[in-house]
Amino acid sequence: MSRSTAPASGTRLSLQARLLATVLGVMSVVWLAVAASTWYDTGHELDELLDAHLAQAAALLVTQRLDDLEGDNFPPPPTLHKYQTRVAIQVWHEGKLVVRSTNAPEASLASGDVPGLRTSMVEGDAWRVLTTPGREPDVVIHVGELESARHHILMASLRSIGLPMLLALPLLALGIWWAVRGAVRPLRALGQAVAARRPQALQPLSVQAVPPEVAPLVTALNGLFERMTELLESERRFTADAAHELRTPIAAIRMQVQVAQEAPSDAGREQALAATLQGCDRAARLVEQLLQLARLESEASYGEGPARPGPSSADMAAIARALVAEFERQVTARGQRLVLDAAAAVPSPLPAALAQVLMRNLIDNAVRYSPDGALVRISVGCSPEGGAGRLVVEDGGPGLTPDAMARLGERFFRVVGSPQTGSGLGWSIVRRLARLFELDLVVDRSAALGGLRVTVSWKQDGRVHQA
């Protein structure tokens, strides 16, 4: 039982959803990082400022003599600010509290008399305390501030910054959603335009109104439409031509069967049956060539051509020797000679099966269109520099006019006046293989034999698989 590997449609996110999730996720992370950085920096700067205020207050007390601070000389100061009551002052002399503000606790704000800033707990409250010696060496001054007051000031400062940021967050998200939706609108429009097309509508899409990022996609779709148009047209022509071409041998076979049925003698019946076998052979060859050509055109149209040169590349010399032996009986029956001039090993870019198809079609055409007693020469070798392989098939037939040579490879093209039957598919297969594997194909007249000369050349990579 086959198991589908495609993801469920419910788990797939659209491009717009993925883009929104990515952008909003990045924005949220950045926003949180900015908020954390703002919190830290604001708290740090606030502590520095308030510590400076404690130091300033302590400095004013240090300049005073103890006698000026005690008794009526140091009356309670007036309340000038709401946070003033959260700041406390203590003056200790010889370990005794001699002066304190009205809101200062009786317990020491800081243990010991070591100068500096510290945080201490006094009567359940956290205080930020600055300790410094007074004007007299036995005087210690503590100036403290409740940590809760600092926290309240910090929260008030952060609220003034954070509330606008919080209000801006949904507005930013809405703006990003609107921008992303607008950015993917051309893709949605393109999808709707393609979905609304009829199956037979293969005209190219317009690239005028699409953004540059979408233009390569539209260009690729137009290329696909063009290839599909060519493929459909090729299949239509192929179907029509094949139906027309197959009708001839089938009709001939039917006629010969009727002749055999009505033949008055055994000799006539045998002659009709022999003609029937020839018609069957011709039909079988035609069907084989049609299938080969259809397979090659399908592979080329869908981009699934045969593998490029690799370990499976064939030895053209070995294939030529095998085919010469295969055609030996046929050429002997007509008094022809098949001469092979082949090197020890000649690598080609074609797999062995397709190399046999290429060479068999060339040899078959040379043998069939040459007269009885003619010479057919096959040469397989490498260039003197060793950078290219070459296959040459030349015959002693009548040759072709320049116009006929130019039309070689057209399906179902026949040379006018040729006594041999054929469909032209063999040359179509040869030219298709030449295009698929980037072979150089040259057709001209043989200077030595007078007939047709076909030269196929290719670049070599040095790798050979014996066929």
Q: For each of the chain's 467 residues, which pLDDT tens digit applies?
A: 444 444 444 556 777 788 888 888 888 898 889 888 888 888 888 888 888 888 888 888 887 777 666 654 455 566 556 666 678 888 888 788 888 887 788 888 888 778 888 888 888 888 888 888 888 878 888 888 888 888 888 888 888 887 888 888 888 888 888 888 887 787 777 777 777 777 777 777 777 777 777 778 788 888 888 888 877 777 776 676 566 556 656 777 777 778 777 778 877 778 778 777 877 876 776 677 667 666 666 665 554 444 444 445 678 889 889 888 888 888 888 888 898 988 778 888 888 777 888 888 888 888 888 888 889 999 998 866 656 888 999 988 776 766 666 656 555 555 544 445 445 567 777 887 888 788 888 888 888 887 888 889 988 654 443 33
Phi/psi region, residue 417 (left: phi>0; alpha: psi -120 to 50; beta: rest), is: left
CA within 13 Å, CB half, 210: 18
* Phi-psi sector, 450: left (phi>0), alpha (psi -120 to 50), beta: left
Q: pTM score, two decimals?
A: 0.45
Query: In the structure encoding, which two tokens stand for residue 464, read together?
Result: 């050979």
SS (H, E, C) 432-443: HHHHHCCCEEEE
The structure tokens listed for 311 are 């370990």
Q: Which residue carries 């020469």 as its tokens?
A: 377
Residue 291: strand, helix, or coil: helix
Structure tokens at 157: 């400062």
- What whole-number distance in Å separates Cα of residue 261 and Cα of residue 333? 30
Q: Where are the beta strands (DSSP E) in 232-336?
A: 313-315
Q: How far is CA 27 from CA 33, 38, 68, 170, 210, in A?
A: 10, 16, 60, 11, 28
Rounded to an integer, what distance in angstroms lies between the CA atom of residue 359 and that of residue 37?
77
Q: Supply φ then ψ for residue 318, to 5 degrees.
A: -65, -40
Report how far residue 367's alpha carbon sits from residue 334's, in angstroms, rounded to the nearest whole number. 9
C-alpha 195/C-alpha 217 separation (Å) is 15
End-to-end CA distance of the chain: 38
- Edge-first strand listing for the sheet containing 452-459: 337-342, 375-382, 388-395, 452-459, 440-445
Q: Read off φ and ψ for residue 420, nearest 5 degrees.
A: -85, 145
In the three-class reduction of DSSP (H, G, I as helix; E, B as strand; rest coil), residue 106 is classed as coil
Q: Which residues contact 4 (CB under 8 A, 6 or more apart)?
A: none
Q: Cα 64 from chain centroid?
A: 81
Strand-strand pairing, 375-382 and 337-342:
parallel
Looking up tokens 């149209």 gives: 301
Distance between CA 29 and CA 401 in Å, rounded?
Answer: 78
CA triple 363-364-368, angle to 5 deg: 120
Which token pair is 419?
């006594």
Report whether 275 contacts 267 (CB < 8 A): no
**Residue 204 DSSP class:** P
